[in-house]
């Protein structure tokens, strides 16, 4: 499974990229707005830090407007992935951009039927939002299971399932068990993947034994 980080915080991205664990980045208008900076500047800086796909979302809702914004965004760097909503105009834009050789992330997916439409439109990624489904009493991970089952039936579908709205390490593990291609994770959740009390306890014991023995590597 590939790990993307879901943030527009350049400092966070830089720190995580240096860990070697980061395969890409997703952003959205809300995250960019929180940065208080111009979108072009934020995306350009992120693309310089991460060699993998960097999703930059259009704000327009009509096809022509999406295409106009996409032309601007994809000029920023070669690894920019244009993020479009899962609407008729969004899928029309997806097909056009894909045919032009641009990576596309179709976002706000909440059903298997929508995911299939995104794949038919040639999306590089489709982003099902599992946390938001859980929030309204639906089974977010069930959506991932359904999409993966459908996609496996058709080898010609090359769209990768990018699990979004991830709320916990359990979401990441369950998505990986189902074979999802990518999880995009907020920085705090990504760091939680490191945590286990037995790891901390074991390390403390090793260090105590080392100090007690008076040993030195040097």
Which domains, and CATH codes, for the chain? 2-105+165-212 (3.20.20.70)
The residues facing 109 across adjacent strands are 128
Note down pLDDT in tens along the chain; length 218 residues.
999 999 999 999 999 999 898 999 999 999 999 888 999 999 999 999 999 999 999 999 999 999 999 999 999 999 999 999 999 999 999 999 999 999 999 999 999 999 999 999 999 999 999 999 999 999 999 999 999 999 999 999 999 999 999 999 999 999 999 999 999 999 999 999 999 999 999 999 999 999 999 988 88
What local confidence, expressed as pLDDT, does residue 165 receive? 97
CB 162 within 8 A of CB 144: no
Question: So which residues are the catalytic ones?
Answer: 83
Residue holding tokens 């995911």? 115
Structure tokens, 164: 């979004």
What local confidence, expressed as pLDDT, does residue 215 receive? 86
CA 5, 161, 140, 138 dihedral sign is positive
Cβ neighbourhood burial of 93 (10 Å; 0-12, 13-18, 19+):
buried
What local confidence, expressed as pLDDT, does residue 22 receive? 95
């Amino acid at each position: 499974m590939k790990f993307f980080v879901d943030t527009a915080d350049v400092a966070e991205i830089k720190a995580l990229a240096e860990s070697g664990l980061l395969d890409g980045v997703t952003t959205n208008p809300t995250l960019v707005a929180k940065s208080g900076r111009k979108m072009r500047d934020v995306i350009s800086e992120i693309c310089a830090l991460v060699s993998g796909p960097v999703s930059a979302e259009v704000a327009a809702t009509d096809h022509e407007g999406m295409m106009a914004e996409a032309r601007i965004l994809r000029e920023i760097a070669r690894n920019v992935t244009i993020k479009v909503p899962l609407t008729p105009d969004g899928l029309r834009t997806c097909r056009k951009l894909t045919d032009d050789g641009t990576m596309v992330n179709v976002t706000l997916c909440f059903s298997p039927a929508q995911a299939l439409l995104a794949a038919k439109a040639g999306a590089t990624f489709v982003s099902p939002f599992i946390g938001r489904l859980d929030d309204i009493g639906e089974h977010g991970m069930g959506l991932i299971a359904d999409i993966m089952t459908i996609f496996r039936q058709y080898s010609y579908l090359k769209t990768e399932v990018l699990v979004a709205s991830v709320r916990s390490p359990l979401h990441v593990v369950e998505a990986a068990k189902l074979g999802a291609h990518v999880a995009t994770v907020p920085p705090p959740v990504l760091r939680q993947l490191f945590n286990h009390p037995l790891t901390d306890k074991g390390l403390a014991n090793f260090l105590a034994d080392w100090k007690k023995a008076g040993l030195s590597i040097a």
